[in-house]
Amino acid sequence: MPKKLQPVWCLFFLLILLSVSTGQQADPRAGVSSLRYHQHQEFFRVVLEIEKIREFYSAELKDPERLYLDIFQARLQPGLHGTSYVINSACVKSLRLAQKNPSTVRLTVELVPGSKQSEKIYYLKDPPRLVLDIFPRGRASTTSTSTPAPGAQSERPAGQTSGAPAAPPKPRAESSRPSGEAAAGTESSSPRPPAPASNGYSLVRQLGLGVKRIVLDPGHGGSDPGCMSPSGLKEKEVALDLARRLKNMLETQGKFEVFLTRDSDLTLPLEKRTSFANQKGADLFISIHLNASPRKNRTGVETFYLNFSPDPAVNELAARENASSTKNIREMKLIVDKIIKNSKYEESRDLAEKIHRNLLEHLEHNFGPRDDLGVKGGPFWVLIGSEMPAVLVEASHLSNAREEAALKTETYREAVATGLFRGIMEYVKSLGKG
Ligand SMILES: [Zn+2]
């Protein structure tokens, strides 16, 4: 080794350092690396190559008539941002790709007015890609969007909605070639989540609704302890304490009525929590939980709103959080219908994003870096049937030694409540009524 480090070695060490530090906070976003399109005889197909399956959402807007597809937790390859493609086919005028915000990639399809009959959105594998098929009027088809269950090899469109895990795979002749000539299938249709108004504002905002009543839901309770830390700290106890602190903070504002679904160590079915919020005529519903992961080094915040999820890890967590539900599998249809008709989708996601960012930033500012596990859709029973924007927040990890130790302290609990409080306040102010 030379006595003095040569520049090349410095660069080498810097690269190692960089890769170590980025390894700790790996970018959770899936890269979108290319866009292809093809006018098939029956339909127009757009194919986006994407690193991993990600949740998506699509809706239509007017003036000009267009369809957008948002892919969450995704990042566009820099060269693709702002790219436009002029198409001028029977039903598609143009395509445009953009990084809508740091975690969302948006594909906008400008349509020939009145020409679109329906569309299908689904994933294909090898290489992983998200496919959008647009059917012009006068062709037999149905409106649906779907995601095949992770692991499904033989992909086909199915009849579910935004980011939905699909029904059991039915092998069909869908080509494995990236833009094969195979016709897209037709299956039963499902209603889709209501599109936001054309001005981009949800009904809550259009009607100028404010927030007066807030229901906080401390997770678990009574015979259901939730998850437990290695030293025996119970999720149900921490969640209740956090909810009480948050209630105090909100009440000192003097403009909210705040209710807890439980204010003691009470067994309370998940369904009763949401119906309690509905009965109270609440404007917001926030369910507070603590996370547990088999990966002991995982830390940080993960925030959910109601949706299907293509992510097996999310469905695993949802299964844990849903464990105390009295519902059975036959009621699955009801769940699916409720998720699809979930008209609070946009507001819930917005609330979840604000709570998530504020909580994470506040904890990082006071206690150092932790994992940003993101804002995600998930099939949580406790969020189903709520008539107001509703989120579930996993505020920290009981399975991580550092966060577990912190969760035993007043200071940390106060900080978690403060982060949640700031998120709620930012949301309330964004409605223009704060
Ligand atoms: Zn929980």
Domains defined along the chain, listed by start: 30-136 (2.60.40.3500), 203-430 (3.40.630.40)
Q: Band of the pLDDT at 204, cuts 50, 70, 90?
A: low
Q: Concatenate the DSSP letters of all residues of 125-142 into one string.
A: TTTTEEEEEEEETTS---
More confident position, 206 or 2: 206
CA distance 45 to 386: 36
The beta-strand segments (E) located in 82-174 are 84-86, 92-101, 104-111, 116-124, 129-136
**C-alpha 221 to ligand 1 mean position (Å):** 10
- Centroid of ligand 1 to alpha carbon of 284 (angstroms): 19
Contact between 137 and 114 under an 8 Å Cβ cutoff? The reply is yes
**Cα 294 to ligand 1 centroid, rounded to whole Å:** 15
Residue 291 C-alpha to ligand 1 middle, in angstroms? Answer: 7
Burial category of 426 from C-beta neighbours within 10 Å (exposed 0-12, middle 13-18, buried 19 and up): middle
Q: Say what percent of the chain tops pLDDT 70.
A: 73
**Of 96, 121, 127, nearest to 30 (Cα)?**
127
Report pLDDT for 301: 96
Alpha carbon distance 42, 157 (integer Å): 15
- CA of 25 relative to ligand 1 center, distance in Å: 25
- Measured distance CA(377)–CA(416) in Å, rounded: 22
pLDDT in tens, 97-117: 999 888 889 999 999 999 988
Cα(73) to centroid(ligand 1), Å = 23
What is the 321 CA–ligand 1 centroid distance (Å)?
Answer: 5
CA 318 / ligand 1 centre spacing (Å): 9
Average pLDDT rounded to a whole number, residues 361-375:
95
Residue scoring higher pLDDT (393 or 19): 393
In sequence order, what E strands does 261-337 have? 284-291, 301-306
Per DSSP (E only), the strands in 264-357 are 284-291, 301-306
SS3 240: helix
**Residue 296 banded pLDDT, cuts 50, 70, 90:** very high
